Structure 1
Amino acid sequence: MNKAILLATILLLAPLGAWAAGLQPTSALPAFSWQRVPLYAHLGKNEDDFTAQELEFLAKHFDFIAIEKGQAMRKRGGSGGTEEGIYEAARQLKKINPRAAVLFYWNAFLDYPLYNAAKSVKPDWRLKTPAGQPFLVRNTVPAYDLSQPAVREWWSDVAGRAMREAPLDGIFADALPQVLTPSKGRQFGDAKHQAMIAGLKEMMAATRRKLGPNRIILANGTRAEDFRELLDWNSLSGVMIEHFGHFGSASKEDMAADLRTMELAGRKGKLVVLKAWPGFTWLDKEMMQRPRAELAKLAAERLAFPLGCFLVAAQPRSYFCYTWGYRHDHGAFDWYPEFDKPLGPPRGEAKRDGWKFTREFEHASVFVNLEKRAARIDWR
């Protein structure tokens, strides 16, 4: 074993402070149990509210759910009002499963024109290039200038108001890395970029003050070793690892770093969501032309590897999310036998040999090979 792998092994097997010492997280977190694989749902339905059958499925299968932007937009005219769609989903889910933690999607950087709140955004609140032109993401979506106090006050007010309008448990704060990434310094200059980062931190802190200590702020997120500083922000309850095994994060090194982030989150008393993919996403146009049943079959066949990876690194407050996108028809309503199997608590941390990991649970033995992208879960 070379020194790099030995060091990684030592780090991986180090005792986790939050688990061992009983440290408390900085804010309230959703229910957690090792009884079965702990799951998280993240979805929206553009055309309408969720049906009674869909609500029943979500409420009975998940205790942790984020409602994505665009929810029921078409029903509400398609020009703002997704807040109402999210509110209605939260109300109905809570009626069926009062213990479910339901989050309000709220992008921390991109000014999506899907919310009634967006109508109050002033033109000079939007980010401009050094040449004074509007800064547009993907050449279409404007962004907030987080260096401005008025922007931060407005954004955090919207988050706070959402908690009063519906039985929501917190927010899913998207796109923090788009502010933190060093490329923004090259685009806007170091002084402006540092002001944006400071503004983002203050905005999250203000949101925490307005939401109080007992609601969740789940941030998107970390990637390999990047943006792990988010785990040290007291305002945040935890992070999503969005690109596990996909979107340029498929190397064995990146996947190992993501699993390490899960462990670090546990040490710091933070929750973490591992967003896993079945080898394709909603952006794959050719795949999206295939029959729905074929996509579901492929997802089922490919579940073992991402689920095994999750299990070898999972800590208390770790959650698994497995779909090929964020709309209701991207796999959120598919179910897998592995999710019904008893799991039980881990019998210690994972053991690592190079790129191979093993871990024992009360009712399962897990083997993962990151180099070969292979895994086996023996349930008992």
Structure 2
Amino acid sequence: MRRSQFIVPAMVFVFTCWLIGCCAANADGTLAAPGEGSETVHDSTASPRPPFSWDRVPLYMHIRKATDFTPEELDYLGGFPLITLEKTTGSRTHGSTEAGSLAAAKAIKSVNEDACVLYYRNVMCNYSGYKTNDGLRDIPGAFLQGKDGNRKLHRGVREIYDLSNPDVRRWWVDHCVEMANHDEIDGIFLDGNIKAFEPAFLRAEIGAERKQEVADGYFLMMQDLKDRIPANKMLLANVIRARLTDSGLDTMRYFDGSYLEGIESQANGLTRVEYLAKGVDAVQKAARQGKIIAMSIGLGDAALTGLKIDDSRKKVVRGANIQPRLEYCLALFLICAEKYSYFLPHDGYSVNNKDSAVWLTKFPEYDKPLGPPKGPAVKDGTTYTREFESASVFLDIETQTAKITWKETR
């Protein structure tokens, strides 16, 4: 047998094994990423990063407003090193989310040229207000369809992309790359990731086989985006979730960091405390690898229903005492934080018509000297402690209590 006759069948066998691995499911039924379980760690030091300092609590902002931001709002936004402009930003003023986001990013950078501004894209849900949506008219089968013919599969009001369709994936990545090439945009924020590979999402509507095809398409799309995004632009994804076998850490290889949503949720048979402890561990691991962490955490009472994929919370009443909750949230962040970790306590992302009770608020904790951590957090049962140069942190996730002792500075 010639050497080439042996090599070709061997290559086919190897590729077949890889392909089977791509379609595998985790032990808990979660749809697996190609190569899941790999020990390879992305070299985050080679990727761009937002400004960072331990001098004060490092902050994140995630916001949407359908009209232009006022001078007062821009001055406020200029104080955040990392900002995501949500869907619909500026769309009422400028005619589309694309144009509105570019205008908002440019305005923010006129106040703080070092601010890192991300453009929002959902990997699954077809939100209106985007000019690029016009291109979907030329893509047959762009949306998933239920067994009953229903195409409004997201809460009964909007379509969901069929990521098994290569034309849809190409259209989606093309737009992200186009927007990332603007000087005003420092990267892409990717939302809805968990919907792509959580097997329970849409399983009843489209069946397990079609859902697996969507998951496979998602991972192909993320690899394509990673390959094509400009080297000086960031990818931040809503992807770390304790409900996943490895909490989503393997999927982080596609991204420069993770936004955190629902770290206090409860799913897959875990108790509230077990779920949170697993989430804390995952965030700590990702942060120590140099990944960007944007911890978004609601100040209102939880109002989760269904699969608990999205972090739903009640609105904060103006004048309510939110200090205990704020201190708990901040302590949770500080237990996890490493360089390039950022904190956002909020009561919703919309600031249209004074939707938020804490918008434009600068909590006193933001002005307190923090200093770098003296080491990692120490875990003892359900409690965590950690020392910073100018603060001592105590957190108990069982009793949901915390204490931050700020040290006096001269």
Q: Give the TM-score band, short-chain normalised.
A: 0.7 to 0.9
Selected match of 2:329 from 302, 306, 312: 306
Cα distance in 2 for partners of 1:356, 1:174 equals 31
1:148 aligns with 2:171: no
Q: Which blocks of at least 5 consecutive residues in structure 1 are unaligned?
A: 1-16
Aligned to 2:280: 259
User: Which residue of 2 is the match for residue 277 of structure 1?
Assistant: 298
| Cα distance per residue 1:264-292 (max 9 Å; x no partner) | 1123331122211113379667x46x4x3
Partner of 1:369: 396
1:195 matches 2:213: yes
Q: Name the CA distance, whole Å, in 1 between partners of 2:111 and 2:336.
A: 31
Q: Secondary structure at the match of 1:105?
A: strand
Aligned partners of 1:129, 1:166: CA distance in 2, in Å?
Answer: 40
- Does the Cα contact within 8 Å between 1:281 and 1:324 map onto a contact in 2? no
Aligned-pair CA distance for 1:133: 3.4
Matched position secondary structure for 2:403 = strand
Following superposition of structure 1 onto structure 2, how do residues 49-64 of structure 1 map, counting pairs within 5 Å? 49-59=68-78, 61-64=79-82
- The share of aligned pairs that are identical, in percent, is 35
Which region of structure 1 is more displaced relative to structure 2, 297-306 or 61-70? Answer: 297-306
Q: Matched residue of 2:228: which SS?
A: helix
Equivalent positions of 1:118-133 (< 5 A) are 118-122=133-137, 124-133=141-150
* Bigger mean CA deviation after superposition, 266-275 or 240-249: 240-249
> What residue number does 2:383 align with?
356
Whether the 8 Å CA contact 1:259–1:310 is kept in 2: the answer is no
Deviation at 1:210, TM superposition (A): 2.6
Query: Is 2:99 the partner of 1:84?
Result: yes
Deviation per residue, 1:320-358 (Å, 9 max, x gap): 111011112423421111111111111111112111111
Structure 1 residues 191, 26: CA separation in 2 closer, same or farther (over 3 Å shift)?
farther
**Is 1:342 aligned with 2:369?**
yes
1:185 and 1:111 map into 2 onto residues whose CA distance is 15
The separation in 2 between residues aligned to 1:118 and 1:160, in whole angstroms, is 15
Q: Distance in 2 between matches of 1:344 and 1:143?
A: 45
What do the CA deviations read for 1:178-227 (whole angstroms, capped 9, x no partner)? 01101147333443222211211121222223322221111112222426
Which of residues 117, 123, 133 is equivalent to 2:132?
117
Matched residues in 2 for 1:197 and 1:206: separation?
14
- Helix, strand or coil: the match of 1:114? coil
Distance in 1 separating the partners of 2:406 and 2:289: 30
Which residue in the other structure is 2:111 paired with?
Answer: 96
CA distance in 2, matches of 1:183, 1:279: 27
Q: Which runs of 5+ in 2 are unaligned?
A: 1-38, 304-311
- The one of 333, 343, 358 aligned to 1:320: 343
Q: Who is 1:212 aligned against?
A: 230
Say which one has the larger Rg. Answer: 2
Relative distance call for 1:222 and 1:229 in structure 2 (3 A) is closer
Native 8 Å contact 2:242 2:248 kept in 1:
no
Alignment length, in residue pairs?
351
Q: Could you say if the C-alpha distance between residues 338 and 246 of structure 1 is closer, same or farther in structure 2, counting changes exceeding 3 Å?
A: farther
1:222–1:241 CA contact under 8 A, matched in 2: yes
Give distance in 1, aligned partners of 2:398 and 2:160: 38
- Hey, what's the Cα distance between the residues in 2 that align with 1:121 and 1:299? 44
Question: What letter is aligned with 1:159?
Answer: C
Amino acid at match of 2:117: V
Q: Distance in 2 between matches of 1:83 and 1:185?
A: 29
SS in 1 for 2:181: helix
Alpha-carbon distance in structure 1 between the residues aligned to 2:333 and 2:127: 32
Q: What's the offset of the Cα at 1:374?
A: 0.5
Residue 372 of structure 1 aligns with an amino acid whose one-letter code is T
> 2:153 corresponds to which residue?
136
Look up the SS of the partner of 1:56 in the other structure: helix
- Report the alpha carbon displacement of residue 155 of structure 1 after superposing the two structures with TM: 0.5
SS at 1:38's partner residue? coil
Instruction: Return the alpha-carbon distance in structure 2 between the equivalents of residues 22 and 238 of structure 1.
Output: 11
Paired residue type of 1:357: Y
Could you say what secondary structure the match of 2:248 adopts? Answer: helix
- In 2 relative to 1, CA 284–203 (structure 1 residues): closer, same or farther, beyond 3 Å? closer
**Which residue of 1 is the match for residue 59 of structure 2?**
39
Aligned partner (choices 160, 164, 174) of residue 191 of structure 2: 174
Shift of 1:263: 0.9
Q: CA separation in 1, counterparts of 2:342 and 2:275? A: 19
> What TM-score, normalized to structure 2?
0.79
Distance in 2 (alpha carbons) for counterparts of 1:343 and 1:66: 24
C-alpha distance 300-84 of structure 1, shift in aligned 2 (>3 A) = farther
CA distance in structure 2 between the partners assigned to 1:215 and 1:281 by the alignment: 34
Distance 1:223 1:353 in 2: 23
C-alpha contact 1:40 1:319 (8 A) present in aligned 2: yes
Q: 1:244: how far off?
A: 3.0
Query: Does the 8 Å contact 2:57/2:343 carry over to 1?
Result: yes
Per-residue CA distance 1:35-57 (angstroms, 9 max, x = gap): 111111000112x1101110111
Query: Aligned-pair distance for 1:246?
Result: 5.4
Secondary structure of 1:32's match?
coil
Structure with the bigger percentage of helix: 1
